Amino acid sequence: MNIKIINLETVDSTNEFLKRENFSPVTVVTAKNQTNGKGRRGKKWISPKNRGLYISFLFRKPDNFENLQLLSLSTAVGVAKVLNRLRSGFTIKWPNDILINGRKICGILPEATRDKIIIGIGINLYHTAEELAGADIPATSLSIEKIKADRKVITEMVTDNVISYYQKTVSGEFNIAEFENLSLIQKGDEITIKTEKEKFTAKVLGFDREGFLIAEKDGEIKRLFAGEVSVRF
Ligand code: BTN
């Protein structure tokens, strides 16, 4: 596979950079600094210079591939496996936040255009607690957790795993059990689900092959799409 790697000093957002430019897949872009890092749901991603790994991947979108949700779960598995090599204890909060000790350390932003898929990943490497104080949910970094992190080594391991999990996913070989093994939300848990219209508690039944969360509320089975709901314990 032909992979082009671009390392930038400063950019607004590595995802936006890949959307703007006309690179061919597979292109990987990293930046030391993002002036307008983007999070999910229109939020900002705290991106101070030299503190995080800010990396985006450009892949070709296979014909009839619409399941960005599963890809976002499988990418989280690939990245969590890298982090768990540094120290065990990293889990995934569905759909794709990676947490350690109950705090978020990595976020993933998948986006699709007509023929391309862009997956942006932010990992907090060297942030201080002060720098993360403005995060929307409690956040941490490898430094705060006292985990030694070599930017170059982590970048290479993340790149390898993200590409291999993308291939597994588009070829239908990704097994949702890999996600379930790392999931913070487990079968039988009582969770609170918030949609635009309602908020309710439900019992988790599991995750299906397309990455939907299956939960039961008063005898009714709900199949929940990550883009439309948020989940709390
Ligand atoms: C989230 O809200 O959890 C998703 C965060 C994704 C952040 C990464 S950093 C690299 C890429 N460029 C961006 O602007 N966002 C993603």
Domain boundary assignment for the chain = 4-182, 190-232
CATH class of 4-182: alpha beta
Q: Which residues of the chain have pLDDT under 50?
A: none
**Count of residues in the chain:** 233
pTM: 0.95
- What is the CB < 6 Å shell around ligand 1? 13-15, 34, 37-40, 43, 45, 54-56, 97, 107-109, 120-122
Residue 107: count other Cβ atoms within 10 Å of its Cβ: 24
- DSSP string over 196-210: SS-EEEEEEEEE-TT
The predicted-structure confidence for 20-33, as pLDDT tens digits, reads as follows: 999 999 999 999 99
Architecture of domain 190-232: Roll (2.30)
Cα 217 to averaged position of ligand 1 atoms, centre (Å): 32
38 token code pair: 């983007």
92 token code pair: 């995934």
- In degrees rounded to 5, what are phi and psi of residue 46? -65, 120
Residue 167 makes CB contacts below 8 A (sequence gap 6+) with none
- 165: nearest Cα among 212, 222, 220, 121: 121
The predicted-structure confidence for 177-218, as pLDDT tens digits, reads as follows: 999 999 999 999 999 999 888 899 999 999 999 999 999 999
- Give the C-alpha separation, 220 to 233, whole Å: 20
Residue nearest to atom 16 of ligand 1 (CA): 120
ipTM: 0.99
Among 6, 15, 104, 162, say which to mutate for ligand 1: greatest number of ligand atoms within 8 Å of CB.
15
SS3 category, 37? coil
- Give the C-alpha separation, 50 to 211, whole Å: 33
- In degrees rounded to 5, what are phi and psi of residue 169? -70, -50
